[in-house]
Amino acid sequence: MKRTHHLPQVPHWHREHQGELRWPVSAVVFVVIVLQLQLPHALSLKSQPLICAIEAALLLALIAMSPKRIHFHAARRWWLGIALNLVMSLSNVASVILLIRQLIHGGITDAASLLASGGSIWLTNVVVFGLWYWELDREGPGARAEARDPYPDFIFPQMSDPAYAPEDWHPNFFDYLYTSFTNASAFSPTDVMPLTRLAKILMLIQSTTSLLTVGLVIARAVNILK
């Protein structure tokens, strides 16, 4: 029997809610597209304009399917979001590989340009993994709005103790973006813990990518400045 809202055993973070606004997600995806277009040619694929055009087309399709709010699960929309994340992820991974190659072979000799490019790739890494966490936790934002899956991939402090949050609290995109930022900065989980193997794998990949990017960029920039 499906649990109703008034039963005390239903966690406050696992009740049906009105869903999430689309515009914050669309805004950060737009930022990623701009950052990828602004990368130097040496740090992006030759087909980068086409890749960004595909990303923009997928974003517009998602906006058309849910222009204001995501309040129910739609498999087609969810898979479209996964496809967008995948394209952005592969593009950023390619930029990381090209950046590492340039650093190893000394292809970048300007510290300011190096820091700007490295920071752009790192920021894209933060946004992309924030989107992965948001899309995959409990089957995505639409499924969370419908309270379809009782088992979370990530546990937030407000989920551990109801006293730390109002009755209508539920994680939204900003919470996942913050989780991504702290994981990329500290190279490990901070206040949000991964529970499933998929969540742990994603955080492991993000921490490794961030560590390589930050470590090599800073080391090379210091050498150039000397």
Residue 5 is assigned to a structural domain of this protein: no
* Segments forming the whole domain that contains residue 40: 15-153+165-225
Please give the backbone phi and psi of residue 125, each rounded to the nearest 5 degrees, phi first. Answer: -60, -40
Q: pLDDT at residue 109 above 80?
A: no
Residue 96 is assigned to a structural domain of this protein: yes
* Amino acid at the residue 134: W
Residue 100 is assigned to a structural domain of this protein: yes
Q: pLDDT at residue 2 above 60?
A: no
Of 10 and 136, the structure prediction assigns the larger pLDDT to 136
Of 212 and 10, the structure prediction assigns the larger pLDDT to 212
Digit-coded pLDDT (tens) for 30-89:
999 999 999 888 888 889 999 999 999 999 999 999 988 998 888 999 999 999 999 999
Average pLDDT over all residues of the chain:
86
Q: pLDDT at residue 8 above 60?
A: no
How confident is the model at residue 83, as a pLDDT?
A: 96
Residue 205 is assigned to a structural domain of this protein: yes
How confident is the model at residue 92, as a pLDDT?
A: 92
Q: pLDDT at residue 1 above 50?
A: no
Q: Are strands 69-70 and 154-155 parallel, antiparallel or unpaired?
A: unpaired
How confident is the model at residue 224, as a pLDDT?
A: 67
Lowest average pLDDT, out of 25-29, 117-121, 212-216, goes to 212-216
Residue 8 is assigned to a structural domain of this protein: no
How confident is the model at residue 131, as a pLDDT?
A: 96
Residue 204 is assigned to a structural domain of this protein: yes
Q: pLDDT at residue 200 above 90?
A: yes
Residue 1 is assigned to a structural domain of this protein: no
Residue 178 is assigned to a structural domain of this protein: yes
Domain count, the chain: 1
The token duo for 125 is 């890494």
Residue 167 binned pLDDT confidence (cut-offs 50, 70, 90): confident
Residue bearing tokens 């499924």: 143
- Helices vs strands, H then E, count in the chain: 8, 4
Strands (DSSP E) contained in the chain are 20-21, 69-70, 154-155, 193-194
The token duo for 106 is 């000394």
Lowest average pLDDT, out of 88-92, 115-119, 176-180, goes to 115-119
